[in-house]
Chains A and B, each alone.
Chain A
Amino acid sequence: MTRGPRVARARLLAAGAGSLLALALLCAPAYAIDPAQMPTPQLEARYLTLTHEFRCPVCQNETLADSDEPVAGEIRAQIRKLLLAGKSDREVRDYMVSRYTEFILFKPEYSLRNAWLWLAPLVLLAIGILVASRIIRARSMLVDQDGEPVDDDLILEPEPPPASDAIGGSRADPIVDPRARPAVKSASAR
């Protein structure tokens, strides 16, 4: 393991040791306002994207762009230099990973190691679609079998009839009696 994670861990330990002031200082994200500009808007945009994708290696979950730590400033300057030297984003990323390990990337690499993380949403979505289709297929077979009254009245009913509506699944009377509703209404009006 290289210095990035180790420094972060050391800081955590310092916090754990309970030195109050250390904790207070640790929790103070001083903010980097860095007016240096890249010569062209394209380079500036690439620089901003990259610095937002990297983590400040010694901070509490801050991006490189946001961090006021001297180390972060140095790395930002290094990124500027690489970009000005005509390096591609890929090359800058590789350089950063080689120096600070993958810990510095806020966007985990598309690698076999991180496959589960990147594929998780897709797999979940696939499972979700499968589950939904099975449930709906099973339930749509039951539509005609169960004799529950179709309750279209969520929006139309100002006051749901208390007894029959509340019981839902275990309703006793399967057929809607056309006289039942007015009777309930007049009861509540009284």
Chain B
Amino acid sequence: MLPELGQFALILAMLLAFLQAVFGIAGPALKRDRWIAATVPAVAGQFVMMATAVGCLVASFVNFDFSVRYVAENSNSALPLFYRVTALWGAHEGSMLLWTLILACWTVAVAFCTTRLPKQFSARVLGVLGFISFGFLLFTLITSNPFLRLEPPAPDGIDLNPLLQDPGLASHPPVLYTGYVGLAVAFAFACAAMLEGRTDPVWARWTRPWAIGAWAFLTCGITLGSWWSYYTLGWGGYWAWDPVENASFMPWLVGTALIHSLAVTEKRGLFKSWTLLLALVGFSLSLIGTFLVRSGVLVSVHSFAADPSRGNAILVFLCIAIGCALALYAWRAPALKSSGGFELTSRESFLLFNNILLVIAAATVFAGTIAPLIAGAVGVGALSVGAPYFRPTFLLPMLPLLALLSIGIHANWKRGRLSASRRALLVTLGLACAVALAVVTGVYAGRHFLAVVGLVLGAWIILSSAVDPIDRVRRKLTLSRGVLGMTLAHVGLGIAVIALSVVEPYTVERDIALANGQSANVGGYDFRLIGTRDVDGPNYSATRAEVIVSRNGRTITTLYPEKREYWVRQQEGTKAGIKNEYGTDLFVALGDDLGAGRWSMRAQIRPMITFLWLGPVLMALGGFCALTDRRYRLGRSTAEALEPLAAGAKERAA
């Protein structure tokens, strides 16, 4: 009964999304106030229906309803409750459901927070979101219905993929999707602005918090994924430039460009058409990413939902959505002009460099990701593109970006007066060089050119962005949330750059073979295998090793890496033993039984890896902090701001 109810709710949600799209887009165009007024109830109804549908599927999972195909394929009677709930998005159908539920949540948030905006405008935003939601729900119902029944019902399920039976599944996909889908809001704001024929600083101010929020969630989601991939063997470590990873990274790069470009549009009324384009491209890239990953046209270690038969449907939707948006853009963008000027050393220039370099980085990642497709289509033979291509080509725009960042945050709007900050810049650069040299020569053996460059740039970013806020605090001036958030995010970036510069060259990784009582030295640490024993989990049996890690005879920790055999799918899984010591990870994974009590093992020493997660977390926190800036609170000030705007619009029309 419940699955049918769920399916019914899903169909209703789709119909409501359709109404929301029609009322939201046609209402303002035809000047029908009632249609405009009907969008918000449609949003609310769609949300309730989506929540009902998801609730029904969760209930089917929790109640072991193996007559539902999706439940039978992705759970089992022995699967713990926690994973029965998260199994909801463990495969394609359910993750589409999660995607649309999150879109419904964002839409409700938009409806709730834009009540003070002009009715027409918010109706258009909701209309565009409704269109996206309708497309995805239609796709879900036609090609990926999670509520289909099995006849006869399966006696038991074939279990959730063991690789996904991990706490990472609970956090990474929902947060990442929140980021992806959040970009849809920026996309909708851009479309609404173009439908309205109005993109001005006020529009930028309305859009900024949504773009920043989406970006912060995307940052968190990618970091969680990177962390999960790091401790899961076989996924290529924390970053492997895999197509699935790139698919999330491209929207992030463009989203980062967008939040910086929005700052210029809000402050100076410049870069209007560029900002619009970034908002469109950001979400388009998340759609393209979905297509590449779900359709199976690109092969990835992280694909759990590839099905070529669904690729075409996504491609059609993608073309319609992106095509409409770009057509709208082609129609409106030429009319957007601005007369503001700025000098070479002004903040606008530096933000322009930021945008150009970030877009180049995104384009490079895009080129490398789709190159195998192009080679296949042109018929010049198979081509593979991996980390050895992405690493150098990504650094090409990134290194100048990091260097310019430290200078750019000291530049003023319009007229650059860097001479005033010259001393601060030189002092911080000197300090950064000193730190880098100290780290490279003192702490870690082996000098790597890129490590030095990265350490200097990272340290310079941190020091340079801290100068102004510290100065203001010392002078007992207030620090706006926006500036605080920006500083946090830049410091986080600096930390991530430093961590990356240390992790990459100074990681020690070795595969060893140990018998009971034997030890091996890896990177100055002794790994001693004490013994192995068999343990049983709820749905797997495992061999658990006991490995004592010591340094210079002093015991640091005991690690318990496991090698699991999941019963239902008869699939192996590993759980690494990881101990963090002052930011350095000591990592052991259990390999194979080599016979005669010997086991193969992988030992890793990864210095500063903790900061590789901490940096992006700080960046995201900075984003969330900037969101709460009072200038985004739509109070009286917005109403006041609107008056001259309306006058300006009339003036332009005249």
B-binding residues in A (CB < 8 A): 1, 4-5, 8, 12, 15-16, 18, 20-21, 24-25, 27-31, 33-36, 52-53, 55, 59-63, 66, 68, 101-108, 113-114, 117-118, 120-122, 124-125, 128, 131-132, 135-136, 139-146, 148, 150-152, 154-160, 162-163, 166-170, 172
Contacts and interface: CB of A to CB of B under 8 A. Distances in A.
A53 B388 contact: yes
A116 to B, nearest CB: 8
A60 B367 contact: no
A155 B382 contact: no
Nearest to B272: A169
Nearest to A141: B341
Given A124-B364, A170-B269, A106 B601 contact: no
Given A117-B389, A121-B360, A167-B645, 10 more contacts: A12-B299, A24-B158, A24-B161, A27-B163, A29-B235, A66-B234, A101-B382, A108-B383, A125-B397, A159-B630
A19 to B, nearest CB: 12
Given A28-B571, A103-B381, A128 B357 contact: yes
A159 to B, nearest CB: 6
B385 A33 contact: no
Contact of A121 (B158, B202, B364, B480): B364
19 contacts: A15-B306, A20-B73, A24-B158, A25-B571, A27-B303, A33-B511, A33-B591, A33-B592, A103-B382, A103-B384, A106-B386, A120-B363, A132-B352, A141-B341, A144-B341, A151-B267, A154-B483, A159-B480, A169-B269
Contact of B301 (A1, A29, A124): A29
B277 interface: no
A120 to B, nearest CB: 5
Interface in B633-648: 636-638, 640-641, 643-645, 648
Given A1-B381, A61-B301, A108-B371, A55 B344 contact: no
Nearest to B237: A66
Contact of A66 (B161, B236, B396, B600): B236
A118 B571 CA distance: 40
Interface stretch (B47-55, B316-324, B408-416, B435-443): B408-416
B233 A31 contact: yes
B532 interface: no
Contacts of A139: 270, 340-343, 348
A10 to B, nearest CB: 13
Interface in B234-285: 234-236, 242-243, 265-270
A16 B297 CA distance: 11
Contacts of A114: 383
Given A136-B352, A150-B414, A106 B388 contact: yes
B338 A131 contact: no
A33 B296 contact: no
Contact of B641 (A106, A145, A166): A166
Contacts of A68: 234
B236 A62 contact: yes
Interface string B378-414: 0011111111110001001100000000000000111
